[in-house]
Amino acid sequence: MKTVEQEIKLKGIPISRGIGIGSAFFFTFADDEAPDFKISMQDIDLEVSRYQLAIEKSRQEILQLQLKLKDEYIEEGVDILDTHLQIMKDPLLTTAVENEIRQTRKNALFVFQVLIKKYQKRFQSIKDPFFRERFKDIQDISRRVAGYLRESVRVGLAEIPYGSVVIAKELSASEVAEANSENIYAFITENGGVASHAAIVAKAKGIPYVSNADIGLIFEKMEDNPLIVDGRTGDIIINPTAKTLDFYKNVYKQVKGHLSKLQKESSLSTETFDGYKVKLSANLEMVNEIDHIRAQGNYGIGLFRSEYIFLSGEDFPSEEVQFEIYKKLVEKLSGLPIVIRTFDIGGDKQLKNHSSSAKGNSFLGCRALRYFLNEKEIFKSQLRAILRAANYGDVSILFPMVSTLSELLEAKELLEEATQELLKSGHEKVCKLKVGCMIEVPSAAIISDLIANECDFLSIGTNDLVQYSLAVDRGNQSLQKYYSPTHPGVIRLIKMVVSEANNHEVPVSVCGEIASDPRFIPLLLGLGVNEFSLASRHIPVIKNAIRNTSIVAATKLAEKVLTLSSSEEIMKLLTDEYRNNVPEDCFYNY
């Protein structure tokens, strides 16, 4: 380890809890930007060869293109490409870049782009328009070379070296879904909101995550020292002193110890200390997380975000592929229930080949059920796959992003059509499934009495309910202060839904991220919720929160909350109450 020069503490927004101590690994950057970071001494030769390879690959690409143009008799194009090949031999693009990489120890893409910018300035000052135009050739070459350099920088998150703290401008849900949680100790990003799907997946994988960080400063100051990420507080420490490092290693141990103590209590019943029973189940994104969930205890799946089976792919999987996946999950659950939510694409979950989900503001556009009511055949193939898998266990179906009653009725009709199609094609037994509706759009919350009449259960998706009722993009951390699940408006909506569900004797659960925040548990219990579905890694903490409260206190707390008028007051009350009930929780550390 290099001698410690200067310890720097940065503050970001805590996204996923836990402590991560590891080596910085710079991941993705915006397309028009070159990452600016230092290469370690032993990797300099590798970086130079990466550059040489990018030049060679670009050269081969131009030669191929030339052959094509020759075949098509486009002589002018052939000549232009000849010029490109000449420019690429210029020492300014070869030895000069290589020397600069060695001297500055900066990454190849950054060095290359700095040089191209210098060229640009020189060409812009040339009076003769013919020569000024020649810069276009250089730009063209630059794009080609930069493309190859970026490609090799962009390894998938599955291939990140052991012990890394991954630093990126932004991470998508599918990128995090690919992440190898054995190797990645933490994430740091510049952009990314608490309730984004990337955040949800990081939590599901138990990877600490802080966003809204000044990653430029990390590039600049980072030496070959460990980087500390505190996903509980949002603290990031660059070049920590030995004392700081020891402190955090100790916190890491305490947090681990606390969680494993709670884990050992998994056989205790889930009830408040005055005996009010509560049902907990797990949210599932990546299918391979099922084994981890099974190891936690006898929890069913209260929300399977089925779109994750293909999110990093190009297209929807066939009925057969889906059936095999759902069946396997159902079998692994050995009779425990699973709620399969139909695909929720759009918003921050886009499919490469299906741009219609991304038109305009995609969170307010053709997302989830809206998209699939326009793509009935794809939708029915999912419904058939779910119906078939239901023969192997306890399966319910859940429709996301319902905003009007007619959408729910249409989805139910399509479920009936899918049933008839299966019967016609020779399936002897097709189960009648329980049908649930997500309440995540304010209009659905307001008509929850009508919705409750038409389905078997409700599931409150508070991530979107907060986004849509407060008009705040859930993925944008710069709007964080507006994204407030304790807003009195949100709490009133939840109360309304729970009351209507109870009036109609329809079970209601909360499956948004607040169900994994122990501060919200007494409030939600007090409002009448007795089912929660959440990231399985948080189940022990939530169970402990339930066991440390009473329904009498929770009811009083809810009554008090309903008299308050601001998010801040409510948050403070919930935090104080939790600190009081569970002072030893160092995982949350409020």
464 binds ligand PEP (CB under 6 A): yes
463 binds ligand PEP (CB under 6 A): yes
Q: C-beta of 475: minimal distance to Mg ion in Å?
A: 12
302 binds ligand PEP (CB under 6 A): no
Which residues from 553-582 bind ligand PEP, rule CB under 6 A? none
Q: C-beta of 506: minimal distance to ligand PEP in Å?
A: 18
Interface stretch with ligand PEP, choices 54-62, 174-182, 455-463, 478-486 (CB under 6 A): 455-463
Other Cβ atoms less than 10 A from the Cβ of 284: the count is 28
Q: 263 exposed, middle or buried (CB, 10 Å; 0-12, 13-18, 19+)?
A: middle
Other Cβ atoms less than 10 A from the Cβ of 247: the count is 14
**Residue from 462, 530, 544, 548 in contact with ligand PEP (CB under 6 A):** 462
**Residue from 14, 226, 436, 461 in contact with ligand PEP (CB under 6 A):** 461
Sign of the torsion formed by the C-alpha atoms of 215, 216, 221 and 223: positive
Distance separating alpha carbons of residues 466 and 486, to the nearest angstrom: 9
Closest of 176, 187, 222, 159 to residue 8, by C-alpha: 222
Q: C-beta of 187: minimal distance to Mg ion in Å?
A: 22
> What is the Cβ-side half-sphere exposure of residue 324, based on CA atoms within 13 angstroms?
4
Residue 512 interface partner, choices ligand PEP, Mg ion, none, CB cut-off 5-8 Å depending on type: ligand PEP
Residue 305 interface partner, choices Mg ion, ligand PEP, none, CB cut-off 5-8 Å depending on type: ligand PEP
Q: C-beta of 117: minimal distance to ligand PEP in Å?
A: 41
| CA angle in degrees (0–180, nearest 5) for 351-353-356 | 75
**Residue from 305, 367, 495, 543 in contact with ligand PEP (CB under 6 A):** 305
516 binds ligand PEP (CB under 6 A): no
Q: Which residue is nearest to Mg ion (CB)?
A: 464
**Residue from 98, 230, 440, 577 in contact with ligand PEP (CB under 6 A):** 440
98 binds ligand PEP (CB under 6 A): no
Which residues from 492-511 bind Mg ion, rule CB under 5 A? none
Contact at 8 Å (CB) between 314 and 353? Answer: yes
Residue 511 bears catalytic tag: yes
Distance separating alpha carbons of residues 163 and 227, to the nearest angstrom: 10
Which residues from 62-101 bind Mg ion, rule CB under 5 A? none
DSSP letter for each residue of 113-181 = HHHHHHHHHHHHT---HHHHHHHHHHHHHHHHHHHHHHHHH---GGGPPTTEEEEES---HHHHHH--T
Per-residue burial over 507-532, b = 16 or more CB atoms within 10 Å of its CB, e = otherwise? bbbbbbbbbbbbbbbbbbbbbbbbbb
The site map against ligand PEP for 341-380 (x = CB under 6 A) is ---x------------------------------------
Distance separating alpha carbons of residues 150 and 140, to the nearest angstrom: 15
203 binds ligand PEP (CB under 6 A): no
Interface stretch with Mg ion, choices 139-147, 225-233, 347-355, 440-448 (CB under 5 A): 440-448
Q: C-beta of 286: minimal distance to Mg ion in Å?
A: 17
Nearer Cβ to ligand PEP (400/522):
400
Q: C-beta of 14: minimal distance to ligand PEP in Å?
A: 18
Q: C-beta of 462: minimal distance to Mg ion in Å?
A: 9
Interface stretch with Mg ion, choices 60-68, 210-218, 434-442, 537-545 (CB under 5 A): 434-442
Q: Which residue is nearest to ligand PEP (CB)?
A: 461
Closest of 349, 356, 342 to residue 402, by C-alpha: 342
Contact at 8 Å (CB) between 146 and 34? Answer: yes
512 binds ligand PEP (CB under 6 A): yes
Q: What 8-state DSSP symbol labels residue 307? A: G
Rg (CA), the chain: 27
Q: In sequence order, what are the beta bridge partners of 22?
A: 227
484 binds ligand PEP (CB under 6 A): no
Number of H helices, E strands in the chain: 22, 16
Residue 437 bears catalytic tag: no
> What residues are labeled active site?
197, 511
Residues at the contact surface with ligand PEP, assessed by CB under 6 A: 200, 303, 305, 344, 440, 461-464, 511-512
- Residues at the contact surface with Mg ion, assessed by CB under 5 A: 440, 461, 464
